Amino acid sequence: MNTEYEVIIIGGGPAGLSAGLYTSRGRLKSLLLEKRLVGGQVTDAEVVENYPGLAGGISGMELGQQMHQQATKYGLETLLAEVTGLELQREKRVVITNKGRFTAKAVIIASGSDRRKLGVPGEEEFTGKGVSYCATCDGPFFKERVVAVVGGGNAAISEALHLVKFASRVKVIHHRDKLRATPILQERASADSKIEFLWNTRVEGIMGKGMVKQLNLKNVTTGEKSTLDVAGIFVAIGREPNTNFLKGILPLDSTGYIITNEKMETKIAGIFAAGDVRQDSARQAITAAGDGATAAINAEKFISQ
């Protein structure tokens, strides 16, 4: 495989795929590196309803596949590999992966973010045994069972609304007394008789024998502790940026996100960032795609200078 490119894109979600489409159409030799599944976290969405031009909605998996096919048609190369480091040379940037070293004149970082974990006893032990971070992936395993969803944002309420198709009851556990989700999602959840809210409550532990059986809970207002019998728990409490490989190389904010300007430029010439990995990202597929296009256009300008 080639090891020298004009542009290397790290991450295969909407930001990375959009960047790859634009650089490839610009006839720049481009490589996209993705460590898991091309399409990124949008592939977890059963239906994407708010992508302009797709009035009937589209599955996240299909949207990711179509974006990849479109970029590939114009010459984008793709390699499934994990990026472990980045080196800066005078005129080249070296991307280090578990499948070798690749050089480019410009790098676009679109490595996205991963779901944040609760960090409580039992979480690691029961991951895949009742603890899940993806209702679309694992919801069918809980037919006619009681499950919990932890979180109060769009992701958590979307998970709950998906799970009612399978579960007999969905308990939404939130550490505040109101949701952060958009009004339309709150309305749908409140109208569903299968969804119940446990306000001002935190999960302190996950119990079971082989599989999840029970949650240890604490009311953050009264301090009262209780248990809740469930067959599964779905965690949706935010995300953490995939930037560990950049520490000491690029300026990051206090939470690990990449700092850019409106051109998606970082503090280092020839290094761009786009999508969820970028500070103050809206974390939407459409805005990630816009970031990717902006990064690609400015990467092309940088290379031509």
CATH number at 263 reads 3.50.50.60
Pairing of strands 211-219, 201-209: antiparallel
Q: What is the DSSP letter of 195?
A: E
Give me the pLDDT at residue 136, please: 81
Q: Which residue has the higher pLDDT, 145 or 40?
A: 145
Catalytic residue set: 134, 137-138
Q: Are residues 58 and 18 in the same domain?
A: yes
Q: Are residues 195 and 297 in the same domain?
A: no
Where would I find the beta strands (DSSP E) of 192-243?
195-198, 201-209, 211-219, 225-229, 232-235, 239-241
CA distance 114 to 19: 20
Average pLDDT value for residue range 255-260: 96
Pairing of strands 30-34, 4-10: parallel
Q: Are residues 253 and 104 in the same domain?
A: yes
What are 68's two structure tokens? 């990849």
Hey, is 177 helix, strand or coil? coil
pLDDT band at 115 (very low <50, low <70, confident <90, very high): confident
Average pLDDT value for residue range 125-152: 94
Average pLDDT of the chain, as a whole number: 95
Q: Are residues 17 and 103 in the same domain?
A: yes
Domain count, the chain: 2
Asked whether residue 240 carries a pLDDT value surpassing 70, the answer given is yes
| pLDDT tens-digit map of 174-232 | 999 999 999 999 999 999 999 999 999 999 999 999 999 999 999 999 999 999 999 99
Exposed / middle / buried, residue 122 (Cβ in 10 Å: 0-12, 13-18, 19+):
buried
Buried b (16+ CB within 10 A) or exposed e, 291-303: bbbbbbbbbbebb
Which range marks the domain in which residue 175 is found? 117-235
**Domain boundary at 235, 258, 274, which?**
235
CA distance 83 to 112: 13
pLDDT-wise least confident of 7-16, 95-104, 278-287: 278-287
Cα separation values, 266 from 34, 107, 115, 269, 278, Å: 21, 11, 24, 7, 10
Give me the pLDDT at residue 50, please: 87
pTM: 0.80
